[in-house]
Structure 1
Amino acid sequence: MTTAAPERGIRTAGPRVRLSRAVERAPLAVPLLLLAVVLTVATDRFLSVDNLTNVIVAAGIVAIPGLAMTLCIAMGEFDLSVGSTVSLTGAVACTWIAGGHSAGVAMVAGLLVGAAVGLINGLVVTKLGVTPFIATMAMLVIVRGVSLAYTGGRDVIVSSSTLKFLAAGRVFGIPMPVVLAVAVALAAWWVVNRTRFGRRVCAIGSNREAARMSGLRVDRIRTTVYIIVGLAGGMWGLLISSQLQKGSGQLGLGFELDAITVVVIGGTSLLGGRASVVGTLLGAVLIETIRNGLNLLNTPPAYQRISIGLLLVIALTIHAMRRNAPAEALDDV
């Protein structure tokens, strides 16, 4: 007489539940598909091989810092200085190349500068107790100023085949930025899903004090995450300078919005405790598809920024609705 309830409890999930779970794991798959259909109808240039390659390359470039930012946001924090890091790392690398150093040494110097910015952010947040918003916003201004001072306010033009290979080269026919993005994505997925470090990052995002009381070295983990974001910002700066073959204190303006947006619309909660690597990748593809489509439709650049801002507002609204939804409603999903 007591078998009916257990059978209901272990019943295989129906198609509606399975579909809901699939959409939750990759929430951007459906809107991305719909957008592709709309752009295919709107312009015959969207599905060309060259255009799709441009979209994937651009998505790969923004996905690299986005994946690092995924860890930071999963930790319940974020880094607003990454756009300025792009500027400074590119400026340092190009200045070193122009000064006679090899491109390899110059790129390593740029990455070290990015890591140094991340380290400073981490120390200011953990040792001085400054909130991440204030600390990284201050670093955004400081690093931008350092970049402008370092270049004297001028563009540093270079001609380096080694640097150019970073953005324009191909490995087995695959664009180098895509290769780098795939490598970073695999590493990020492994860290988040298969390592103690990834679990500890999410634990800090869920409840920092509980994580500290459980014996985790919270400050060390937080600082490490900021260094990772700085390194990713450095890679972003090298890729942008590789594309343009120049360094400038003006590069990277507003880039921090892109890095945060691809993470948030991909499903990583700003409240922390959860990281979605696949979501971040889809977020990068969605943003660059929108940009590409607007370019094909000859939309002014200002509206591209507006569209990204609106996309972020929509994502934040959805997060707020989910957070405030009654438990019963969530159980029915």
Structure 2
Amino acid sequence: MTGLLRRAPLALPLLGVAVALALTTDSFLTGGNLENVLVAAAIVAIPGLAMTLCLAMGEFDLSIGSTVSLAGVVCCSAIIDGVPAPLAMLLALAAGALVGLANGLVVTKLGVTPFIATLATLVIVRGLSLAYTDGHDQIVSSATLKYLVGGRPLGVPMPILLAVVAGALAWWTVNRTRFGRWVCAVGSHREAARVSGLPVDRIRIAVYVLVGMSGGLWGLLISSQLQKGNGQLGLGFELDAITVVVLGGTALLGGRASVLGTVLGAVLIETIRNGLNLLNTPPAYQRISVGLLLVTALALLALRRTPAPAPAVREVTA
């Protein structure tokens, strides 16, 4: 039991929140509501898993929320222009990958810090999304796009199935592949990894491309739900993606990744949001709750890193 809690420290808080909501609301434990929680958690967990690699590398990507809007705009605009939906969805993923590639090149080749580089990309990509649509909704009616969220292969909602596949791939990458070990090595000590002969720049670029593609898929899922693309979609989503990773225990300074922790972090956040909805809490307070969770997680990480005080040395006199 102790080993399980060490690997999944969010299990107890998640259980506590679930019990509290079960006691204070009548509909939390209904099958439909629990499925809604898992679907929402799956949609957040997918980009969170890519962000897990980024944080394990000691970096982060603030532009993922803007990538959500760009991907939705690209996909829906292409469908409106007569492009087949599957191809439009591939174009959206390619747009996300290009954003990630741009971030990776700016960070590695120009030496711009990730915070500044991805903050600039956040603004630029958001502007591109708004300019491309002239600020208007790109409304579609596509059964193929709708299947991303509404489909139920084998009776399982598609977002949950996608999250399971993404989680399995992320776990395998982190724990069983050379690339996963390289990512954590770069996060532990970048210069030492470079001296050891690791292709540090290529690793960093690859991770940013993965984050960009995950942002593209996130945008497709949101556009699938709403059946529209809009330059305003994805506002603040970067906070969600980073929060689920930090809550899950991935080291903010790099060197360690927790795939299971990220998944549980997504479930915890969406459980809290769902509970606040059931309790008729205004949306503004839901954003506040996510911010408070992030601050709490960062505080706990800081406490873990604080070294124990050295024992006092008594002076011995002859």
- The reply to whether TM is greater than 0.5 is yes
Quickly say closer, same or farther: Cα 1:327–1:171, change in 2 above 3 A: farther
Q: Counterpart amino acid of 2:277?
A: N
Structure 1 match to 2:286: 304
Q: CA deviation at 1:133?
A: 0.2
Aligned to 2:79: 97
Q: 2:295 aligns with which of 293, 310, 313?
A: 313
Q: Could you give the per-residue CA deviations for residues 280-329 of structure 1, whole angstroms, max 9, x where no partner exists?
A: 0000000000000000000000000000000000000000000004289x
Is structure 2 residue 107 aligned with structure 1 residue 125? Answer: yes
Sequence identity percentage: 71
Match of 2:95 among 99, 105, 113: 113
The answer on 1:183 being equivalent to 2:165 is yes
> Equivalences for 1:1-333 in 2 at 5 Å?
19=2, 21-326=3-308
Rounded Cα–Cα distance in structure 2 between residues aligned with 1:151 and 1:266: 37
Residue 313 of structure 2 corresponds to: none
Deviations 1:208-233 (A, max 9, x none): 00000000000000000000000000
Q: Distance in 2 between matches of 1:171 and 1:73?
A: 32
- AA aligned to 2:151 is G
Report the AA paired with residue 84 of structure 1: S
| Separation of aligned partners in 1, 2:278 and 2:300 | 29
Structure 1 stretches (4+) deviating beyond 4 angstroms? Answer: none
Give, as a single letter, the amino acid of the residue that structure 1 aligns with 2:30: S
Q: Deviations over 1:241-292 (max 9, x none)?
A: 0000000000000000000000000000101000000000000000000000
Amino acid at match of 2:301: H
Distance 1:327 1:53, change over 3 A: farther
After TM superposition, give the deviation of residue 38 of structure 1 in Å: 0.2
Distance in 2, matches of 1:306 and 1:289, equals 15
Aligned length: 311
Q: Matches of 1:199 and 1:24 in 2, distance apart?
A: 21
CA distance in 2, matches of 1:271, 1:260: 13
Aligned equivalents of 2:266 and 2:275: distance in 1?
14
